[in-house]
Amino acid sequence: MAKDEPDDDTLPDKDAAKGFYAKYEPKEVLGRGISSVVRRCIDKETGKEYAAKIIDLGASEHNDSRQMLEATRQEINILRQVMGHPYIIELQDVFESDAFIFLVFELCRHGELFDYLTSVVTLSEKKTRYIMRQIFEGVDYIHARNIVHRDLKPENILLDDSLNVKITDFGFARHLNDGAKLYDLCGTPGYLAPETLKCNMFEDAPGYSKEVDMWACGVIMFTLLVGCPPFWHRKQMIMLRNIMEGKYSFMSPEWSDISEDPKDLIRKCLVVDPEKRINVREALKHPFFNTVMRRQSQFNAKKKFQFAILTVRAMIRIQRLRYTPEPLDIEEALRDPYRVKVLRKVIDACAFRVYGHWVKKGEGQNRAALFENQPKVELHNLYIHQLQK
């Protein structure tokens, strides 16, 4: 749609803000950025819900409003190039005014993948496969259009009503011709690729390209599986040094239950040399996404052994149940002590001690009487009567 539009360099229409408020009714805040607020809004005519990113052109201390305007126009331009894919956010409407720009997006009711992960702590391999496949498919679509996102992270991956991925925030995205390189430092520290950091450190750094998104995907995937990121350190300098050296590990105990395929894919994303890093097409062909059937039937000695131990433990518990006395309710014991197995044994033993001499050999009848467990009606009533007094 906008790809063919001429680059409009005139100042925005002053009445555009009015246009937004005439069409949409803004509601509660869904999220915030450095100079933007995202609110749920309702189309007054259709009643359909959207998310409006309201960018305050005068809010940033570092950029003047002209720069902000240019940056937002670039974001809009890229959004229009990547739209139309199920895993990429859909831009619905744009309104520009002197002070504000309104970007109206499809609404992602389930919010950020970041918050989802926080609520569930970690994702299973199966869930990680589901989410990562969608992220890679979205990235494939973006890269195929020669665009690099540069800020992939769980905060910029939204989840729609069916918990499907929507890649968003193309604020740092750039169009790159074949072989072209970028040099500026932008993104989020924990997700920065080594080659991006090198641009900031060395004059003669070769620059970076689309591979930085694959590095970020590796960081995301690691984080989804175990809940913590691969390159975190209290001191940011140490974290950055670890990134430069590609120093991370699968040593924490959480990794012991995770199979080899996802680890292998993460290893291939977190390769320091961007030329040797896996690209998005290769990632989608990785066994992690393609050998579900084989993996299910694969023999895993450790898992089998753990399962056997659990089964034996369960059997022992069931067997022991026979010897575990049932909980004794004092009311019940008072009302009908003979019904309780342990008490019955005690009563029988006492009864035999007292009346055993009555039991005559060869006379089964009075032996049975000693096991009589229904109180005689008159005696029972008398007993209850006395208790109530």
Give residues in contact with ligand ADP (CB under 6 A). 30-31, 33-34, 36, 38, 51, 53, 89, 105-108, 111-112, 155-156, 158, 168-169, 171
Give the pair of three-digit tokens for residue 72.
Answer: 């937002």
140 φ/ψ angles, rounded to the nearest 5 degrees: -60, -45
User: Concatenated DSSP letters for 269-309?
Assistant: HS-SSTTTS--HHHHHTSHHHH-HHHHHHS--HHHHHHHHH
246 binds, among ligand ADP, Mg ion, none (CB under 5 to 8 A by kind): none
Distance CA 123, CA 238 (A): 27
Helix/strand/coil for 63: coil
Whether 336 is catalytic: no
Site string for Mg ion, 342-381 (x = CB under 5 A): ----------------------------------------
Between residues 97 and 156, which has the closer beta carbon with respect to Mg ion? Answer: 156
Question: Residue 22 contacts by C-beta under 8 Å, 6 or more apart in sequence?
Answer: 44
Instruction: Please identify, using beta-carbon distances, which residue of 129 and 196 lies nearer to Mg ion.
Output: 196
Q: How many CA atoms lie within 13 A of 144 on its CB side?
A: 11
Q: Using CB under 5 A, which of the segments 151-159, 184-192, 299-307, 357-365 binds Mg ion?
A: 151-159
Smaller CB separation from Mg ion, 102 or 248: 102
41 membership: H or E segment, kind and range = strand 36-43
18, 20, 21, 24: CA torsion to nearest 10: 160
- The nearest distance, CB 258 to Mg ion, in angstroms, is 29
Instruction: Choose one: 153-161, 172-180, 236-244, 340-348; the region binding Mg ion (CB under 5 A).
Output: 153-161
Supply the minimum distance, in Å, between the C-beta of residue 106 and ligand ADP. 6
Phi, psi for residue 94 in degrees, rounded to 5: -135, 135
Q: Which does 228 bind (CB under 5 to 8 A by kind): ligand ADP, Mg ion, none?
A: none
Q: Find the shortest distance in angstroms from Cβ 274 to ligand ADP.
A: 25
199 token code pair: 């641009």
Q: Least Å distance between CB 307 and ligand ADP? A: 41
Q: Which does 17 bind (CB under 5 to 8 A by kind): ligand ADP, Mg ion, none?
A: none
The token duo for 372 is: 């009589």
Given 151, 169, 213, 261, the catalytic residue: 151
What is the spatial distance between Cα 246 and Cα 6, in angstroms, rounded to a whole number? 43
Question: What's the min distance (Å) between Cβ of 30 and Mg ion?
Answer: 12
* Residue 53 contacts which entry, Mg ion, ligand ADP, none (Cβ below 5-8 A, type-dependent): ligand ADP
x/- track of binding to Mg ion for residues 154-183 (CB under 5 A): --x------------x--------------
| Closest-approach residue to Mg ion (CB) | 169
Give CA–CA dist 281/388, Å, rounded: 83
Partner that binds at residue 105, options Mg ion, ligand ADP, none, CB closer than 5 to 8 Å by kind: ligand ADP
169 within 8 A of 186, measured Cβ to Cβ = no
Q: Which CA distances in Å does 95 have to 66, 243, 245, 377?
A: 16, 40, 45, 89
> Where in the sequence numbering do the catalytic residues fall?
151
* Footprint on this chain of Mg ion (rule: CB under 5 A): 156, 169
